[in-house]
Amino acid sequence: MSLFDIERPSYAYDPRRGIRFSEEERRSLTIAVIVLTFCFAVAFSSNGLFDLLARISQKGFLSRFVITLLTSFIAVLTAFVLHEMGHKVVANHYGYPAAFSYSRNGLIFAAVISLFLGVLFAAPGAVIIYGMPSKRENGIISLAGPLTNLLVAMVFGIIFVFAFFFSFTFGIGSILANIAFIVTTINIFIGAFNMIPIGILDGAKILRWNKIAYFILLMFFLPGIIIIFII
């Protein structure tokens, strides 16, 4: 077994009942969201656990950390959960049962490097699809994840622009602008990372299905990546 092997969850699916979440899947999502939120918050606010503990006594740090936790929670929900739910919804649309399952080893690895190195790297799990989708179906199911990240990034990018304008002009909205910028950035990075056409990443499956669709979606991510590095 590799470090990030994912346990195949049990799942009952009835297409007449629409999208359903089993207790096991809800538990997997909850665990992944809690761990990732904390990892994101530590990585965003410090250089690791020891640095975090050293900063606790600083004036205003706890209030800033609470805001960082909120930002991390929103980032995880939009960049990670919605990405995975994009896969699940489209798989269900094609009639395939699909359920998210967390990777215990992946979450432990993410927690360890964020706590001790202050670096963010997450392989929290994946949506397991039951059945044998065709190359086209598999490509579209895979495309749904990065596409969701792109749409979320566009929405929060617009929020950032307006919040930054109000912050710069009227002195209000700086917290919202910061949250929107981080959420936009995380969604762009996760979506773009998943577009890498190697291994089990979404990009490899999209490219096998339709090269034109792959490069069109990739071109939408590139300006965001460039802008982020410039800023």
Chunked mean pLDDT (size 10), the chain, 231 residues? 47 56 87 89 74 72 84 93 94 90 82 72 81 93 96 94 79 81 92 90 94 95 82 66
Q: What local confidence, expressed as pLDDT, does residue 123 receive?
A: 73
At 11 the pLDDT is 52
* Burial (0-12, 13-18, 19+ Cβ within 10 Å), 89: middle
- Active site (annotated) includes residue 84: yes
Domain limits, the chain: 1-131, 134-231
Distance between CA 86 and CA 80 in Å, rounded?
10
Q: Please tell me which residue in 7, 23, 25, 84 is annotated as part of the active site.
A: 84
pLDDT of residue 212: 96
pTM score, two decimals?
A: 0.84
How much is the pLDDT for 104? 83
Task: Please list, in sequence order, all residues whose beta carbon lies within 8 angstroms of the beta carbon of residue 4, skipping any fewer than 6 positions away.
Answer: 103, 105, 106, 109, 123
Sign of CA dihedral 198, 200, 203, 205: positive
Fill in the DSSP letter of residue 19. S
pLDDT of residue 105: 82
How far apart CA 125 and CA 7 sit, in angstroms, is 9
